[in-house]
Amino acid sequence: MKKSKQKFGNFKKSFGQLNKLVIALSGLVGVGLIVSIFLLMNPSLPLFVGPDTEESGAVAVADQSEGVENGIHVATGFIDAPGMMITIQNCTSCHSSKLVIQNRMNAERWVKTIRWMQETQNLWDLGENEKIIVAYLVANYPPKKVGRRSNLEVTDWYELE
């Protein structure tokens, strides 16, 4: 939050740095909304708040500090760990975070999935962020051994009539 507030001060002075600042403001929802509406209504403005700038890492901190409960990011359900915000920014534009969270893969298969999305689903080049995202996914969503058949799980036993 501290970082965001400093950035807010800069924003007033320098409209030219809008690109980077839009991201930094994401913690301040009200202001952010006005900016986003403004931007959406003026598509000619430079909008490339590149997800690969260092600034996007800064947003992560701001947003994270607000929306995490019991280690889970409330808005997305992602496990709060290094690389989460970059993952959110790059992986939830087209599809639900739930689609990521449901899946369990090793590094090779997460990369393969990213390639498939780049080849067929219009996913952009992730640049340096790819390493961060894959590391986050492998650390938090690795394959789980389930064997050929698991025990049945019953959470609520109930009396049959």
Partner 1 sequence: MERRKFISKSTLAILATSLGSEIVFGANLPEELKLLGLQDPDPYALFKKNKGLRILSDKPWNMEPLAHHLDEEVTSNPFIFVRNNGLVPTKIDPTTWTLTIDGESVKQIKTYSLAELKSKFEHYSYQLVIECGGNGRAEFDPPTKGNQWDIGAVYCAKWTGVRLKDVLNDVGVKPNAVYIGYHAADVHLSGDLKKEPISRGIPIAKAMQEETLLAFQMNDQDIPFVHGHPLRLVAGGYPASVSGKWLQKISVRDRVHDGEKMGGDSYRIPCTPVGPGEEVKDADMCIIESMPVKSLITYPKSGGIISKGKKLTIRGHAWAGELEVSKMEYSIDFGMTWKSGVLRKPSNRLAWQHFSAIIDFPKIGYYEVWAKATDSEGKSQPMIVPGWNPKGYLNNACHRIAIKVS
Minimum distance from residue 95 beta carbon to partner 1 (Å): 5
Rank residues 14 and 94 by Cβ distance to partner 1 and give the closer one: 94
Minimum distance from residue 9 beta carbon to partner 1 (Å): 19
Rank residues 16 and 43 by Cβ distance to partner 1 and give the closer one: 43
Residues in contact with partner 1 by the rule CB under 8 A: 22-23, 25-26, 29, 32-33, 35-37, 39-41, 43, 47-49, 51, 56, 59, 63, 75-76, 85, 88-90, 92-96, 98-99, 102-105, 109, 113, 116, 121-122, 143-150, 152, 154-160
Rank residues 65 and 92 by Cβ distance to partner 1 and give the closer one: 92
* 31's tokens: 């202001």
Please check whether residue 33 is in contact with residue 65, taking contact to mean a CB–CB distance below 8 angstroms: no
Residue from 143, 80, 81, 83 nearest 108 by CA: 143
To 10 degrees, what angle do helices 129-140 and 107-120 make?
A: 130
Rank residues 59 and 134 by Cβ distance to partner 1 and give the closer one: 59
- State the DSSP H helix or E strand holding residue 72, giving kind and residue range, or none if neither: strand 72-73
> Could you tell me the maximum CA-CA distance found in the chain, to the nearest angstrom?
72
Minimum distance from residue 131 beta carbon to partner 1 (Å): 19
- State the DSSP H helix or E strand holding residue 73, giving kind and residue range, or none if neither: strand 72-73
Minimum distance from residue 105 beta carbon to partner 1 (Å): 7
Q: Tokens 């952009």 sit at which residue?
A: 124
